[in-house]
Amino acid sequence: MLEAALRRQRWLIGTAVLMLAALAWAYTVHLAGQMAAMDMGDMPMPMDGEAMMQMHAARWSAADVVTNFVMWAVMMVAMMLPSATPAILIFLRASAQRQDRGALTPASLFVLGYLVSWGAFSAAATVLQWLLHDFAYLSGSMAFDSRIAAGAVLVAAGIYQWSPLKYACLRHCQSPIGFLFGHWRDGLAGAFRMGLHHGLYCVGCCWLLMLLLFVVGVMNLAWVAGIAVYVLAEKVFPVGPRLARATGIAVTLWGVLLLAGRVSL
């Protein structure tokens, strides 16, 4: 009886999570396409594209801040929610086994807590982009105009890939069962807190990788997709730590060459 109910709940929550991620990807692709078309002058400027372009022409208004936050928040849902699906489904099973009532509500709150963590990162990224914009460090494609700034971010991201904090966070992301055993909290508030904590570990694992978008262009769709696939590989495959170290070497080398003027933006 429990297994049959659990299968239905897994199907429902899994479908809902994947649909949410798909909608986020659809919006991200839509916005990236608008930005690319406007850069080439192939289409009239639609309302949301106009808001994005105005952000690069003048000081931001409150509406510009909100627009940019929505862009970051939706992009983080698209990039990070698929890699959190195993943890969500494991939490659903554990929650169903520990209580008599259905586990859909706790699982939904776990997802909400996870997204709140990435929403906090999105807010920080919005503030950072706001400051970079005001200091004229960003181009129209929302990438660094400064070779020094871009190189410094690359070197920092590469070094972070070797840091103890990176591996502490990656260990929790790679082992959702271990995370749940070590951080279990009963009740609905506990489910939200667990999702929040799991999301914070994921932010700690990936935040500097996300800032690479300021090097290549925030709405560079190929890099957005590439980083999302890379993050999934780091979390899912046993070679994740070795992959992180190899990536750290490559990104640091890229940054050093950029700082030395051997490669260009």
pLDDT in tens, 18-62: 999 999 999 999 998 887 776 655 545 454 545 555 545 578 999
What integer best gives the mean pLDDT of the chain?
89
The yes-or-no verdict on residue 88 having pLDDT over 60 is yes
Give the Cα separation of 173 and 175 in Å (integer). 6
Range in 57-61, 134-138, 195-199 with the lowest mean pLDDT = 57-61
Q: Considering the entire predicted model, what is its pTM?
A: 0.90
Burial of 56 (0-12, 13-18, 19+ CB in 10 A): middle
Give the Cα separation of 73 and 75 in Å (integer). 5
pLDDT of residue 224: 96
Q: Tell me phi and psi for residue 138, to 5 degrees.
A: -115, 145
Positive or negative, the Cα torsion across 78, 241, 161, 244? negative
pLDDT of residue 3: 72
Structure tokens at 40: 């080439």
pLDDT of residue 55: 47
- What residue ranges do the domains of the chain occupy? 2-259
Q: What's the farthest any 2 CA atoms get from each other in the chain?
A: 66
Structure tokens at 73: 């928040």
Give the Cα separation of 227 and 224 in Å (integer). 5
Burial of 42 (0-12, 13-18, 19+ CB in 10 A): exposed
Range in 53-62, 128-137, 228-237 with the lowest mean pLDDT = 53-62
CA nearest to 148, candidates 237, 264, 10: 264
Range in 26-35, 63-72, 239-248 with the lowest mean pLDDT = 26-35
Beta bridge partners of 112: none
3 state DSSP class of 45: coil
Burial of 238 (0-12, 13-18, 19+ CB in 10 A): exposed
If one compares 211 and 48, the residue with the highest pLDDT of the two is 211
pLDDT tens digits, one per residue of 163-173: 999 999 999 99
